[in-house]
Amino acid sequence: MFKVSDLNKRDIVNVVDGSKLGPVKDIHIDVEKGTIEAIILQGSRRFWLFSSRKDFIVPWGAVKKLGKDAVLIEMHDWTV
């Protein structure tokens, strides 16, 4: 079992290329079904003044493992 607040303390790692993503900004929960639908990752800002941050949605089906130090996801079409 884990707490949602623990997610933002864990590295989010894409197993396809080993890249570290994150941090977790939020999660989407379907309250009618009682299921987690997606985790939302906070995008990074490439140029401080000239670009805004884009959040990235990771469908819950892409989450492969919730470890004590990392969350492993599998995203083949990932672009940051």
45: part of which helix (H) or strand (E)?
Answer: none
4: part of which helix (H) or strand (E)?
Answer: helix 4-7
Q: What's the CA dihedral at 7, 11, 15, 19 to 10 degrees?
A: 140
Predicted pLDDT at 47 = 44
Predicted pLDDT at 44 = 62
Query: What are the pLDDT tens digits along the chain (80 aa)?
Result: 677 788 888 889 999 999 998 788 899 999 999 999 999 988 765 544 555 567 889 999 999 999 888 999 999 876 54
Q: Which amino acid type is present at position 17?
A: D
Predicted pLDDT at 77 = 76
The domains located in the chain, with CATH, are 4-45+52-73 (2.30.30.240)
Q: Are strands 70-73 and 11-14 parallel, antiparallel or unpaired?
A: parallel
